[in-house]
Amino acid sequence: MSITGIKGMNDILPDEVGTWQFLEREAHRIFGLYGFNEIRVPVLEKTELFCRSIGEATDIVEKEMYTFEDRSGNSLTLRPEGTAPVMRSFIEHRLHAQDPVAKLYYMGPMFRYERPQKGRYRQFHQIGAEAVGIDDPMMDAQVLAMLCHYFKAVGIDQVSLQINSLGCPECRPAYRQALVAFLDERRSVLCSDCQRRCQTNPLRVLDCKVPACQEATTAAPSVLDHLCGGCAGHFSQVRTYLEALELDYSVNPRMVRGLDYYTKTTFEMVTGQLGSQNAVAAGGRYDGLISDLGGPALPGIGFAMGVERLVLLKSQNPATAQRPGLFLAALGETAARHCFLLMNDLQQRGLKVEMDFSCKSLKAQMRRAGKLNARYALIVGDDELAAGQAPLRNMDDASQETVALQELAAVLNSRLADCS
């Protein structure tokens, strides 16, 4: 019996990687425009980090983390999200001593044990960004502007921005009390998970996808009606800046986050293209997280995007893979040896070149050139080597010209520059 991959942990095959590279490349470019710098943190962290940051009563900590003891008896966890590890690194390396304002981004795999389905896997990948040290609503608006800029840059337009405010430690207890009282009257019609959440994490009941729970909470009290003056003012200014930037958004008072550290502004980029897994990116402000983890009392805001979900949306308008600039069709062993050396020379000059190593017929080699979607094909045999020139065929329109082999690199650079 052959060994298969682990359920929910997927291979990314060569014909898919181009889209992944495009999405990652645009993240590097766009985030850099806004002054964000990349940070890379381990996939394994101490379990305590996530219990303290995410919250022990969350579904992630209670049911979804990959946690184990190492040979020294330390409890370790494969990271289920990226913000807490980045903040741990920020604190540990005292990045705040260099500059209390830090703008960081990351990308890589995360791990959660849950039922695999379209857009949700046990190993999944995120691209995320974190801005630390500024609590001004303008920073909230800039982070959202960068997120919208990214989606525009990668050509994903079937998404919409939803925002909400979850209040702060001063005003959230009163809202929590009102929500619990509301849910207690309807506990019998809620699913078993929501019955448990009523006491441990009542805000999560509003995010349940079970139809009965959604119907039962239609008239639930709104968190926006319970904001203190500071949180209400902050949210109002965020909206003002978004409108000044002409960014379309809607207010969703039912939006909550599955992690305990969120305060004030929260947001999601949602789509109707992926069924129940409608959030493509999500985030918010977490002004108390850094101090809770033992660092300075600095505010923060960030988001994460699910790369698998981006790929699903992008597959409807896939990024064009880089085409080979040239395919070398060699006729005979002598020509094949010459083409091999020529291919290496052109590759060293920065050109993407392919050839067939098995000396098949010209017809078979041209089929191969077509399958690889090469822009040009050079046909080289003994006569062409003797003459020092060979036919260069445009694979898009079948036109053909004769070029000197010594001038091939210059000709290709000129032709390919015209194509770009």
DSSP string, 250-316: EE-TT---SSTT-EEEEEEEE-SSSTT--EEEEEEE-TTHHHHTTS-S--EEEEEEEHHHHHHHHTT
Residue 138 half-sphere exposure, CB side, CA atoms within 13 Å? 3
- Cα Dmax for the chain: 92
Residues of the chain with CATH 3.30.930.10: 14-167+246-314
**From CA 295, how far away is CA 315, in angstroms rounded?**
42
- Residue 318 pLDDT grade (very low, low, confident, very high; cuts 50, 70, 90): very low
Backbone region of residue 167 per phi and psi (left: phi > 0; alpha: psi in -120 to 50; beta: other values): left
Residue 61's pLDDT is what?
77
Considering only residues 275 and 415, tell me which one the structure prediction assigns the higher pLDDT.
415
pLDDT, the chain, mean: 91
**pLDDT of res. 259:** 65
Mean per-residue pLDDT, 104-119: 91
Residue 61 per-residue DSSP state = I
Mean local confidence (pLDDT), 308-331: 81
Domain 14-167+246-314 has CATH 3.90.1310.10: no
Q: For the chain, where do the domains classified as CATH 3.40.50.800 start and end?
A: 326-414
Q: Is the pLDDT of residue 316 over 60?
A: no
The structural architecture, per CATH, of the domain 326-414 is 3-Layer(aba) Sandwich (3.40)
pTM of the entire structure? 0.86
pLDDT in tens, 344-375: 999 999 999 999 998 899 999 999 999 999 99
Q: Shortest CA distance to 238 belongs to which of 266, 213, 197? A: 266
